[in-house]
Structure 1
Amino acid sequence: MNQSDFLNSVLPFKNKVFRLAKRLLVSSEEAEDATQELYFKLWKNKEKLSEYKNVEAFAMTMTKNYCYDRLKSKQASNLTLVHSNYKENDTALEKKLEYQDSVSQVHRLIEKLPEQQKLVIQLRDIEQYDYEEIGKMLDLKPTAVRVALSRARKTIREELIKQHNYGII
């Protein structure tokens, strides 16, 4: 596999890899490092890529595993929470602040979810993978993916309703 074939097969999902890494590692810098490390590993093993049916799913699984290893390492103790992904330009300041607050609340609620639910909601609702692909990435049956996603959404919905009804933050 030459360089151009490699780039054509792995570059289309670079942003998805980064977003998954950012969801798990939280820090943009750490996510960039994870993305770079993943692409380096893929390049080193470029001859074996043709053996995989879905290179994107393989890369996402590698990203998940790398991020878990990274979080377990001692260097992970200095990761900080920074979310600046969501910005809108054409809204009034009050609405903008309201949206930012809602997005922040959802991010905090997602972070409180169990790891499996956190990954499933990231891969399904943000990355738009289908249930079978998520199942392959996380080594789960599609039914288990649906159940985890349903539980994650229900937990987030209930917490948001509770916060809006009682003003608890």
Structure 2
Amino acid sequence: MKQSEFLKTVTPFKDKVFRLAKRLLVSTEEAEDATQELYFKLWKNRGKLKEYKSVEAFAMTMTKNYCFDRLKSKQASNLKLVHSNYKENDTSLSRKIELNDSVSLVHKLIENLPEQQKLIIQLRDIEQYEFEEIGKMLNLKPTAIRVSLSRARKTIKEQLIKQHNYGIG
């Protein structure tokens, strides 16, 4: 496989790989390193890529596994939380602050979910993968994914309501 063919194959999902790595590792720098490492591994094994039905699903699985390995390593203790992805125009300052707080809260709630639910929320709601694709990546049945996703969303919803009601009700 030549470089141009390789790039044509792997470039379309580069951002998805980064976002998954960022969701799991939190740190932008760690996510960039993970993405670079993944693409290096894909390049080294470029001759075998045609054997996979979906190179994208394979890359996402590799990203997930690499990130879990990084989190288990000693270096993971220095990861830091950074959330500044949300921007909106034409709203008052107080509304912007409120929206930023809500977005930050949702990110924190996602981070507090069990690993499997966190992954499924990332892949389905953020990356927009189909249930069958997620099933292949995580080696789960689509029904198990739906149940886990439903539980994760319910947990986030309940926590948001609790937070917005200031614990009242």
Does TM, normalized by the shorter one, top 0.5? Answer: yes
Match in the other structure for 2:64: 64
Match in the other structure for 2:3: 3
Q: What is the SS of the residue equivalent to 1:90?
A: coil
Q: What is the SS of the residue equivalent to 1:166?
A: coil
Q: Distance in 1 between matches of 2:112 and 2:2?
A: 43
Identical residues among aligned pairs (%): 82
Residues 117 and 16 of structure 1: CA distance in aligned 2, closer, same or farther (over 3 Å)? same
Match in the other structure for 1:16: 16
Match in the other structure for 2:123: 123
Q: Does 1:160 align with 2:152?
A: no
Q: Distance in 2 between matches of 1:49 and 1:86?
A: 36
- Within 5 A, what are the aligned runs for 1:15-164? 15-164=15-164
- Deviations, residues 20-43 of structure 1 (Å, cap 9, x unaligned): 000000000000000000000000
* Uncovered stretches (5+) of structure 2, i.e. residues with no partner: none
The amino acid of 1:131's aligned partner reads F
Q: How far is the alpha carbon of 1:115 from its aligned partner?
A: 0.2
Q: Distance in 2 between matches of 1:12 and 1:144?
A: 28
Q: Distance in 2 between matches of 1:164 and 1:153?
A: 16
- Deviations, residues 64-102 of structure 1 (Å, cap 9, x unaligned): 000000000001110011112222233221221111000
* Uncovered stretches (5+) of structure 1, i.e. residues with no partner: none
Q: Distance in 2 between matches of 1:45 and 1:136?
A: 20
Q: How far is the alpha carbon of 1:161 from its aligned partner?
A: 0.8
Alpha carbon RMSD of aligned pairs, Å?
A: 1.0
- Deviations, residues 91-144 of structure 1 (Å, cap 9, x unaligned): 221221111000011011101100000000000000000000001111100000
Q: Distance in 1 between matches of 2:67 and 2:152?
A: 21
Q: Distance in 1 between matches of 2:141 and 2:22?
A: 25
Structure 1 segments of 4+ aligned residues over 6 angstroms from their partners = none
* TM-score between the two structures when normalised by the length of structure 2: 0.97
Q: What is the SS of the residue equivalent to 1:133?
A: helix
**How many residue pairs were aligned?**
168
* TM-score between the two structures when normalised by the length of structure 1: 0.97
Q: Distance in 2 between matches of 1:91 and 1:5?
A: 45
Greater displacement, 84-93 / 116-125: 84-93
Q: How far is the alpha carbon of 1:167 from its aligned partner?
A: 4.9
